[in-house]
Structure 1
Amino acid sequence: MKWIMSLFVVLSLSCFSNEYKIEPVKDNVYRFNTGHYYSVFMITESAAFVTDPINSDAAQWLNAEIKRRFNVPIKYLAYSHNHIDHTQGGGFLADSTTQVIAHRYADEDLRWTDAPTRMADITFAQELKVNMGSNSVELVYHGPNNGRGSVSMRFMPANVLYIVDWIVLGRMPYQDLQGYDIHGMIRSTEEVLAMAPFDVLVGGHANMGTRDDVKYYLSYIKALYDGVRDGMLSGLSVEEIQQQLTLSEFKSLPMFAQWREANIAGVHRMLMDQSYFNFRPDIKNNKD
């Protein structure tokens, strides 16, 4: 069993890169990159506010770089949600004076699963505003969408929004949408677009972007959902929907050819698991 667990750890970390990079986003907000993963941080005159550690090695590197480049302590560390590929290694980014923040559902999951990270000191239910002099970070819970306790973070006055996994700009949503709630993805993204406008959105993967990019993402998610739902209501199998639902208007998205069928399968699975489409008496094949 021990060698199986060791192999799992190696495989689970294989998607991370040891080539790290820090790049400016806007004003005093920066993006940290390791492989296909991103987090953000804000630097004030006296302290830093950082987000997802991603993994232990990345967290150690970022901790050292913030101290070397900016010469300020890390006052706050906030988790975007519970998933371990974003929260692992928090103890290497936070020291004894750092306050760790998480939504209560994310904190609950990290504690119940004994996750290898630093647990939260501060939790909240709906909204939390952290003031740091003339700067602030506004954290908002938008309901279920991806994982547990996933929140948006708005860094002010730069007006940079950080959202992980449930909004992905400039790329297809990941494979078969493991851990997602398709209804929540749509509702939460609509909620973000109804909020005060942001200047830049930084995601946990793929591109930074604007409101127009978020609108385009939402149009894909809705087309995907509508196509799968309507196919299921017509009594089609997932294989038949994959053949008929081409979504060709979105074929320019990176990973479209590789993940289109998996995206369809993921929505199909969610509608079976969450909405019990297999029990619907109005669907022809369910009566056979």
Structure 2
Amino acid sequence: MSKSTKALFSLVFSILLLHFPSAGAEEKSAYKIEHMKDNVYRFSAGHYRSVFMVTKQGIFVTDPISDEAAKYLREQLTKRFDVPIRYIAYSHNHVDHTLGGQILAQDGADVVAHEYAAEDLKWTRAPTALPNITFRDTLDIALGDSRVELRYHGPNNGRGSVSMRFMPANVLYVVDWIVIGRMPYRDLLGYDIHGMIHSTREILSGEPFDLFIGGHAETGSRKDVARYLAYLEALYAAVRDGMLAGKSLKALQSEIKLPEYADLPMYDEWLPLNIAGVYKSLVEVSYFNFRPDIDAEF
């Protein structure tokens, strides 16, 4: 290779590095820690979100997300706060939220999860720290004058998915089964549409919260969560009624529009997939394909 050719390759490579940084640099730039309210913070790793609460008695951390994200978060907590991690709480069993637990728990922190989530992580031999504290319906964990209220609302997404309320900041954290500022994920993989509606209704009928933080997308208010619930109810009703009228999935995806939610990100891309998710649930869970009153091909 001539010197001029080598020089040209070197120049091109340098330009590529400027415009396309390394994977490591991209990952690190995707991490962010934000102060949300009082002693509650949000940790973002790309489009994933977790929450932690800092007290003089220690730190309460939620979903570690991944090994790399957990390493970054642990380093930052050590640098920023002169207190140990006391608790790690998993929102549910899915490994895209629970991996990395062993990194945050390595100094002896307790790992908390609902009993169904803990069971699933154990049975599936998930490569993360297994919970040593579990509960069935409710669990309150106090750290000094602060506490976290964990509540199980029944099936909704995955196994053992819970809400966490951080007090006295009154910040509510829910992963996956409530998403505000965006459409629900694709074809609702792993979701129970009935459970999503039921659990969200239960949240809205409970004590008011000051700030909602989700495991994805945006933060918001009770009004935002109520709009999310209205979307789920409208989506479910439209698919159900269309199926009762004997319409095919293809017809439903063509006809159902729900234009009042067209401002939500991913509306065009994911509405047909959301419809498919409800359709699939009504066939597989509610057995619409065995209904004698429906004249349709499933």
* Bin of the TM-score, shorter chain as denominator length: over 0.9
Q: Report the counterpart of residue 111 of structure 1 in structure 2.
A: 122
Deviations 1:180-225 (A, max 9, x none): 0000000000000011000001000000000000000011000100
Answering whether residue 215 of structure 2 is matched by residue 223 of structure 1, we say no
Q: Report the counterpart of residue 163 of structure 1 in structure 2.
A: 174
Which of structures 1 and 2 has the bigger CA Rg?
A: 2
How far the C-alpha of 1:103 sits from its partner, in A, is: 0.3
CA distance in 1, matches of 2:106, 2:41: 21
Amino acid at match of 2:284: D
Answering whether residue 112 of structure 2 is matched by residue 101 of structure 1, we say yes
How far the C-alpha of 1:229 sits from its partner, in A, is: 0.4
Q: Report the counterpart of residue 6 of structure 2 in structure 1.
A: none
Instruction: Give 5+ residue unaligned stretches, structure 2.
Output: 1-22
After the TM superposition, which segments of 4 or more aligned residues of structure 1 sit over 2 Å from their partners?
16-19
Amino acid at match of 1:193: L
Amino acid at match of 2:231: Y
Q: 2:192 aligns with which of 146, 159, 181?
A: 181
Q: Report the counterpart of residue 191 of structure 1 in structure 2.
A: 202
How far the C-alpha of 1:46 sits from its partner, in A, is: 2.5
Deviations 1:32-78 (A, max 9, x none): 00100000000001200000000001001101111110111000000
How far the C-alpha of 1:21 sits from its partner, in A, is: 0.7
How far the C-alpha of 1:96 sits from its partner, in A, is: 3.8
Q: 2:158 aligns with which of 139, 144, 147?
A: 147
Q: Percent identity?
A: 59
Q: Report the counterpart of residue 84 of structure 2 in structure 1.
A: 73
Amino acid at match of 1:272: V
CA distance in 2, matches of 1:78, 1:189: 20
Q: 1:281 aligns with which of 245, 267, 292?
A: 292
CA contact (8 A) 2:165 2:173 kept: yes
Q: TM-score, normalised by structure 2?
A: 0.90
Report the aligned-residue RMSD. Answer: 1.5
Deviations 1:201-256 (A, max 9, x none): 10000000000000000110001000000000000000001111111111000000
Answering whether residue 100 of structure 2 is matched by residue 89 of structure 1, we say yes
CA distance in 1, matches of 2:125, 2:56: 35
CA distance in 2, matches of 1:284, 1:111: 44
Amino acid at match of 1:37: Y
CA distance in 2, matches of 1:26, 1:246: 37
For 1:240-259, what aligned pairs fall within 5 Å after superposition? Answer: 240-259=251-270
The alignment partner of 1:144 has SS state of coil
The alignment partner of 2:296 has SS state of helix
Q: TM-score, normalised by structure 1?
A: 0.93
Instruction: Give 5+ residue unaligned stretches, structure 1.
Output: 1-12
CA contact (8 A) 2:64 2:70 kept: yes
Answering whether residue 224 of structure 2 is matched by residue 213 of structure 1, we say yes
Q: Report the counterpart of residue 74 of structure 2 in structure 1.
A: 63
CA distance in 2, matches of 1:125, 1:285: 41
How far the C-alpha of 1:95 sits from its partner, in A, is: 2.0
Amino acid at match of 2:259: S
How far the C-alpha of 1:285 sits from its partner, in A, is: 2.3
Answering whether residue 246 of structure 2 is matched by residue 235 of structure 1, we say yes
How far the C-alpha of 1:101 sits from its partner, in A, is: 0.1
Paired positions, count: 274
CA contact (8 A) 2:248 2:296 kept: no
CA distance in 1, matches of 2:158, 2:203: 18
